[in-house]
C-alpha cells in the first residue's frame, strides 16, 4: 500500500464548447461557477479528510448531475424522440476496476449507477433496458424520466428539428461533466457523466461511458475525463492514449494531453480533457473557446473558470 502523504488534488469540468462572454448571461455564469465550486467542495471535503479519490470523483460528479446548467442528469440533452438517455462511467486507478452505463432513463445519478455496476456486478458496461433493470434491482434511486427534462432542453430539441439540423450540441456546446482526483494515498480516479448530444438517434452512445475513450484512470499514469465531440474521442482512444503516452512514452501528463488533443483536432473533433497525475500535476487542455472547469488541492485554493482566460 502506498504510504499516505498530505497532498491531494481534484479537478472538475462541466463541458467544453463555444462558451463566450457574448453568448452567456452574467447570471448564467454565476450559477455555473457556483455549481463548480459546490462540486469542488464535495470532493475536497472527502480528500482533505483522507478519503479516497474514487469517493471524491463520484461526489463531485453527483453535484453536477443534479444541477440543470449542465448536460448530465437533470438538464441532460434530449434524444430525437424527446427523452433523456444518460451515460456515465467511473474508474479506480488502484486496480483499474471500472463501471459504465449508457442510455439509462430513470436513475437519478448515472455515475452512482456506474459505480454500482463496478462494485455489485461481474460486468463493466451495461446499457439500455438492462442497465435500467439492474439499477432497480440494485436499489439505486429512481426518478421519472421527466425529472431530467428542462424547458431549455425542450427548446434546444425544437430548434434542431425546426432547422432540420443534425448536431446542435456539436455546433454550440458540450455540457458533459467529469472529475479526476488524486488522494493522500497516491491513488487516482476518474468519473464522467453526460446526456449526450441533442437529437441523438438510433441508440447513439458517445465517448463519456467508454473506458479508454472519455474516461480512464491508472495509478501508473493518471486519471482523465473528456468532453467534446465524442465520436472523435472514441476514434482516438483519447483517455487511454494520454495515459499510454505517460506510462510507455515517458511524457509528462501535460505534454501527453496536448498531443492527444492535437490528434483529436486533426481528426476533425474539438473539446477538452481534465487530468491529474499520481505525482500531483492536475489541470486541463481544451481546443474550444471555453471550458467549464475548476480545481483545488491541499496546496492551492479552489478556482473556477469558463472562458479561455481565467
List, by residue number, the catalytic residues.
176
| Residue 50 in grid coordinates | 483522507
CA distances from 48 to 7, 28, 55 (A): 9, 30, 12
Cell 491529474 belongs to 276
- As a whole number of angstroms, the distance between CA 202 and CA 165 comes to 16
Q: Is 125 exposed, middle or buried (0-12, 13-18, 19+ CB in 10 A)?
A: middle
Distance, in Å, from the CA atom of 274 to the CA atom of 36, rounded to the nearest integer, reads 14
Q: Is 281 within 8 Å of 11 (Cβ atoms)?
A: no
Return the C-alpha cell found at 248: 510507455
Buried b or exposed e, range 48-69, using 16+ CB within 10 angstroms: beebbbbbbbbbbbbbbbbbbb
Distances (CA, A) of 88 to 126, 191, 276: 10, 7, 19
Amino acid at each position: 500500500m502506498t504510504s499516505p502523504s498530505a497532498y491531494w488534488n481534484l479537478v472538475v469540468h462541466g463541458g467544453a464548447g463555444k462558451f463566450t462572454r457574448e453568448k452567456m448571461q452574467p447570471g448564467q455564469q454565476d450559477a455555473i461557477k457556483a455549481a463548480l465550486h459546490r462540486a469542488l467542495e464535495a470532493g475536497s471535503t472527502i480528500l482533505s479528510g483522507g478519503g479516497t479519490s474514487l469517493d471524491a470523483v463520484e461526489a463531485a460528479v453527483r453535484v453536477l448531475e443534479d444541477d440543470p446548467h449542465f448536460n448530465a442528469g437533470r438538464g441532460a440533452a434530449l434524444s430525437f424522440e424527446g427523452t433523456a438517455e444518460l451515460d456515465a462511467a467511473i474508474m479506480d486507478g488502484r486496480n483499474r476496476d471500472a463501471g459504465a452505463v449508457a442510455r439509462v432513463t430513470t436513475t437519478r445519478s448515472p455515475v452512482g449507477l456506474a459505480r454500482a455496476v463496478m462494485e455489485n456486478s461481474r460486468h463493466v458496461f451495461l446499457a439500455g433496458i438492462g442497465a435500467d433493470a439492474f439499477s432497480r434491482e440494485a436499489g439505486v434511486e429512481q426518478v421519472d424520466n421527466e425529472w431530467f427534462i428542462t424547458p431549455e432542453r425542450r427548446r434546444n430539441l425544437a430548434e434542431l428539428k425546426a432547422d432540420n439540423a443534425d448536431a446542435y450540441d456539436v455546433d454550440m456546446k458540450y455540457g458533459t461533466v467529469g472529475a479526476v482526483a488524486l488522494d493522500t494515498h497516491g491513488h487516482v480516479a476518474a468519473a464522467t457523466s453526460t446526456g449526450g448530444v441533442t437529437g441523438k438517434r438510433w441508440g447513439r452512445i458517445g465517448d463519456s461511458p467508454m473506458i479508454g475513450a472519455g474516461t480512464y484512470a491508472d495509478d501508473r499514469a493518471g486519471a482523465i475525463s473528456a468532453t467534446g465531440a465524442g465520436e472523435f474521442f472514441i476514434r482516438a482512444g483519447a483517455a487511454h492514449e494520454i495515459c499510454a503516452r505517460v506510462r510507455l512514452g515517458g511524457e509528462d501528463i501535460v505534454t501527453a494531453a496536448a498531443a492527444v488533443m492535437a490528434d483529436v483536432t486533426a481528426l476533425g473533433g474539438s473539446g477538452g480533457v481534465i487530468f491529474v497525475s499520481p505525482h500531483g500535476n492536475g489541470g486541463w487542455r481544451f481546443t474550444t473557446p471555453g471550458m467549464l472547469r475548476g480545481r483545488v488541492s491541499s496546496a492551492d485554493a479552489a478556482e473556477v473558470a469558463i472562458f479561455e482566460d481565467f
